[in-house]
Amino acid sequence: MTSALPLLPVYTGDQVRAAERPLLESGQGPELMRGASWGLAAAVLNLLRERGAVYGARVAGLIGSGNNGGDGLWALTFLRRRGVEATAVLARGRAHQEALQAFLQAGGRVVDEIPGQADVVIDAVLGTGFSGEFGAPQLPEAAVVIACDLPSGVDADTGEVRGSAPAADHTVTFGGLKLGLLAGDGGHLSGRLHTVDIGLGDHLPTPRAQLLSPDWDPASSWRPPQSTDHKYSRGTVHVLAGSPQYPGAAQLTVGAALNTGVGMVTLEAAEEVRHQVLAASPEVVGVADGAGSEDRLEKARAVVVGPGLGDQAAQLEAASATIDEAVRRALPCVVDASALTLVPELTLRTEVLLTPHVGEARRLAQGLGLAEADELLSSDPVAAAEALAEGTGATVLLKGATTVIASPGAETLLHRAQAPGLATAGSGDVLSGVLGAVLATQQDRLTVAEGAVLAVGLHAQAAQRVDPNGQGRFGASALMAGLRA
């Protein structure tokens, strides 16, 4: 399927290794290693140029015994030939013979410890050949760390760290983006990602997942209203959110939907919640909660249920009825926060978008009796989201620094936010509003999963707008305002 969004293929380590195999068998190993190590050296050179001079810069490598170490040594060799002071620590006491010889011939030095003055450290102990556990050594604090293919100790297939892994500022990866660089702890440790094409081309299989391109402006994927539009044709979002205990959640969800851009927002909530929300956003149309009338969704193109709903039985009952009605009408329906507790009792379809964070996903898996999904949440979050999607029949958006969107029978989509300030109370309520607006207005050209990944991109972009230096000095209200271009 071709998507209207710019998506990058993501592979497991095993898939990339399998793609390399025929080339290695036909004797092209040295060329592959040359391509990979030159790509790594080029990335280091760029970094050194940005920081000052290349000549005399100090670059140290932590070198393993396999091909990952070979890549590291060849990269150090190329750098040495450009006047870099290159040192290598042989972490296993031995290394790729040919690469070591070239390194020594170029004037590189083997040392016992990474020099404390190193400007750049290349982590080339373990790549896709990692098995068992790894213990990461301490690296000089001031050095920029560049991982060769992936940080040592990270499982390339899942992102799981077994033992410990050094955090990289950059990872230069070969042949294709690997899932372990995006998911789980691997996603926190891999830094900025650079992919080097080593000519695997047609040998690469169907990707394991697709990543929304980090270089893409998500706002450019937004289809604006047309002159022929009227409010209903643009898209109406029906929101069931907020409670006397959490009225602010409704305000954030509704405000985010309005600032993302919709034809109309209707809010189903308790009177005092509606009163508060309408005081801030008089354009919202209020509907008494628990109204129970089926025509409240008649004009809706998307529904959002759950933010700030709390755990009162009457509110959950109204939420359940609204989700059922949305399912009956095949409307995209975002189910968030406490409404997620209703899922085991509901019959869902792929238009329903469940939006748990990890804690909620764990409770969801337990509520559904999906023990495997519960376990996978720690070791392989992508597989966990897929198991939840299969188990519920719904699309699942698992929140986190990397958001995973899994839909039964469809490709899994990923978004990686470089905005940890998003971890702030109410941020998820804002995301629900953005999701509602995108699903209501863009559904003619995007699937629910694609709309979801676009919404997650817009949410992260809003954080970058209000907090360009990543200081985290903003709350969810500012995030809501940041959605406006």
How far lies 353's CA from each of 109, 307, 408, in Å?
A: 56, 13, 11
Burial label for 359, CB within 10 Å (0-12, 13-18, 19+), is: exposed
Residue 403 labelled as part of a binding site: yes
Q: Which of 117, 119, 118, 80 is nearest to 100 (CA)?
A: 80
Least CB distance from residue 5 to ligand NAX, whole Å? Answer: 29
**Angle of CA points 443, 449, 451, to nearest 5°:** 40
* Closer to ligand NAX by Cβ: residue 15 or 395: 15
**Which residues ranging from 219 to 238 are in contact with ligand ADP (CB under 6 A)?**
none
Least CB distance from residue 256 to ligand ADP, whole Å? Answer: 11
What's the rounded Cα separation, in Å, for the pair 427 and 479? 7
Least CB distance from residue 391 to ligand NAX, whole Å? Answer: 33
Interface with ligand NAX, residue 123, by CB under 6 A: no
* Closer to ligand ADP by Cβ: residue 95 or 398: 398
Q: Which of 86, 85, 75 is nearest to 40 (CA)?
A: 75
Question: According to CB under 6 A, which one of 56, 425, 445, 470 is a site residue for ligand ADP?
Answer: 425
Interface with ligand ADP, residue 453, by CB under 6 A: no
Of these partners, ligand ADP, ligand NAX, none, which one is at the site of residue 210 (CB under 5 to 8 Å by kind)? none
Helices in 151-301 by DSSP H: which ranges? 184-189, 231-234, 247-260, 271-280
Helix-, strand-, coil-residue percentages of the chain, each rounded to 5: 45, 20, 40
Q: Looking at beta carbons, which residue is closest to ligand ADP?
A: 428
Question: According to CB under 6 A, which one of 39, 127, 242, 451 is a site residue for ligand NAX?
Answer: 127
Taking residues 371 to 410 in sequence order and writing x for each that binds ligand ADP by CB under 6 A, - otherwise, the string is ----------------------------xxx-x-------
State the distance between the two ends of the chain, measured CA to CA, in whole angstroms.
Answer: 30
Interface with ligand ADP, residue 433, by CB under 6 A: no
Question: According to CB under 6 A, which one of 33, 60, 309, 385 is a site residue for ligand NAX?
Answer: 33
What's the rounded Cα separation, in Å, for the pair 97 and 131? 22
* Closer to ligand NAX by Cβ: residue 136 or 318: 136
Least CB distance from residue 162 to ligand ADP, whole Å? Answer: 22
Interface with ligand NAX, residue 11, by CB under 6 A: no
Residue 308 labelled as part of a binding site: yes
Interface with ligand NAX, residue 20, by CB under 6 A: yes
**Angle of CA points 7, 153, 207, to nearest 5°:** 25
What's the rounded Cα separation, in Å, for the pair 127 and 154? 8
Positions at the binding site for AMP: 399-403, 428
